[in-house]
Amino acid sequence: MHRVFSGIQPTGNLHLGNYLGATRNWVALQADFECIFCIVDMHAITVWQDPEQLRASTREVAASLIAAGVDPRRHVVFNQSQVPGHAELAWIFNCVARMGWLNRMTQFKEKAGKNKENASVGLFAYPNLMAADILLYKATHVPVGDDQKQHLELTRDIAQKFNNDFKCDIFPIVEPLILGVATRVMSLRDGTKKMSKSDPSDLSRINMIDDADTIAKKIRKAKTDPEDLPVSEEGFAGRPEARNLMSIYAALDGIEMDAVLGRFGGAQFSTFKQELADLAVAKLSPIQDEMRRLMADPGYIDGVLRDGAARARAIAAPIMAEIQDIVGFLRA
Ligand code: TYM
């Protein structure tokens, strides 16, 4: 059996990296897999979230998923906190994963920064919750951007250790699906840094809610170098901004990098940026219009999430019971 699971945090605005690296691939996978898409509000609170803002962001992310083409009737869309199995299994995994494994997680080091002593325990244990998200449904395939690769390796390690420790084969060894030409969209201000919600500069990212003028302005202001655009992949050496902008173009247009190099190689950045801005607006504005329409009807969004949570609980319940039996929790 094949089952897709993926998650996204409801922290602030979704950006082009989330769309090209993840959610657009989710939409494509719906035709071939049973899919479970989770808005991970419990992961969000590993760093401080204003409660009202968290609720609003949860609805906004749900709206943006549906607007991008996720079909909540055929697949499951819900927020994590509403299915208790995530927390229950995460606790079991806290007892399976080793301190040494988590100490190697680069995302914790980046997020905690120099002030490790003051990071929440949840931020440290974050990857165990992520493993629980996936394995609670025995998901087999997990579409993510490149930055989540290490967390999925840990998920595989946890599944393997649990299966070994308890001499069973309950958990599948998940396959990461890192798809497309834009698996790691970089900041528009610095081609060596990931495009991220937490970058203090709003000019560094294209948000899914930016209007056409803002998108065009951000692309116009994107960092470049003085050379013309390269004609082949080798020409990207030492030119991360050129690579980033050209791969964004390829991903948005659904074409290979070679085709972009063939079309714009040797052109000036200014000419290319204009074309890129037009393309980005053309591709994103229908999604944005739909998102605004959905956001005007929070009752509908809440209904989708409520229904999704009920279906997720129904899938998770027998698996959680099986896990409890294996661990030795008495279900009297
Ligand atoms: P999050 O919310 O940071 O990001 C959601 C998805 O977007 C991808 N992504 C990117 N892809 C390409 N370029 C970028 N600049 C970029 N930034 C973000 C991420 O790789 C991700 O696929 N821990 C996860 C959420 C999660 C999860 C899970 C994912 C929780 N449980 C279980 C898969 C399975 C996270 O923080 O994603």
For residues 132 and 109, is the Cβ–Cβ distance under 8 A? no
Q: How far apart are CA 240 and CA 238, in angstroms?
A: 6
The pair of structure tokens assigned to 183 is 């698996």
Instruction: Give the span between the Cα atoms of 125 and 97, in whole angstroms.
Output: 9
Centre of ligand 1 from the C-alpha of residue 270, in Å:
31
pTM of the model: 0.97
pLDDT attached to residue 13? 79
Nearest CA to ligand 1 atom 34: 6
Between the alpha carbon of residue 201 and those of residues 3, 119, 195, the distances in Å are 37, 23, 10
In this structure, what token pair is assigned to residue 193?
Answer: 């840094």
Task: Look at residue 101 in the predicted model and tell me its pLDDT.
Answer: 98
| Integer Cα distance of 253 and 235 in angstroms | 21
Tell me what pLDDT residue 121 has.
97
Assess whether the C-beta atom of 128 lies below 6 angstroms from ligand 1.
Answer: no
Cα–Cα distance between 144 and 23 in angstroms, integer? Answer: 8
CB neighbours of residue 79 within 10 Å: 24
pLDDT of residue 45: 98
Is the CB of 148 inside a 6 Å radius of any atom of ligand 1?
yes
Q: What is the SS3 assignment for 175?
A: strand
**Quick check: is 111 catalytic?**
yes
- From CA 21, how far away is CA 316, in angstroms rounded? 27
273 tagged catalytic: no
216 lines ligand 1 (CB under 6 A): no
First-to-last CA distance in the chain?
31
What does each of the 332 residues of the chain score in pLDDT, given as a tens digit? 899 999 999 997 799 999 999 999 999 999 999 999 999 999 999 999 999 999 999 999 999 999 999 999 999 999 999 999 999 999 999 999 999 999 999 999 999 988 899 999 999 999 999 999 999 999 999 999 999 999 999 999 999 999 999 999 999 999 999 999 999 999 999 999 999 998 999 999 999 999 999 999 999 999 999 999 999 999 999 999 999 999 999 999 999 999 999 999 999 999 999 999 999 999 999 999 999 999 999 999 999 999 999 999 999 999 999 999 999 999 99
The residues, any chain, with a CB within 8 Å of residue 266's CB and separated by 6 or more, are: 228, 229, 231
> How crowded is residue 147: how many other Cβ atoms within 10 Å of its Cβ?
18
Give dist(CA 219, CA 213) in Å, integer.
10
Element (H, E) at 43: helix 41-44
CB of 134 closer than 6 A to ligand 1? yes
Question: Which residues have C-beta within 8 Å of that of residue 231, sequence separation ≥ 6?
Answer: 261, 265, 266
- For 6-36, give the DSSP string: EEE--SS--BHHHIIIIIHHHHHHTTTSEEE
pLDDT of residue 113: 87
What whole-number distance in Å separates Cα of residue 49 and Cα of residue 55?
Answer: 10
Q: What is the dihedral of CA 65, 70, 75, 76, to 10 degrees?
A: 0
Of 197, 217, 223, 283, which residue is the catalytic one? Answer: 197
Instruction: Return the bridge partners of 176, or none.
Output: 142
Could you tell which of 40, 65, 156 is best to mutate to test the pocket of ligand 1, judged by most ligand atoms within 8 Å of the CB?
40
Q: Please report the domains of the chain, with CATH numbers, ordered by start residue.
A: 3-177+297-327 (3.40.50.620), 202-293 (1.10.240.10)
CA distances from 265 to 233, 247, 269, 280 (A): 10, 13, 10, 19
**Cα 15 to Cα 87: distance, rounded to the nearest angstrom:** 28
Q: Enter the tokens of residue 229.
A: 């655009």
Largest Cα–Cα separation, the chain? 72
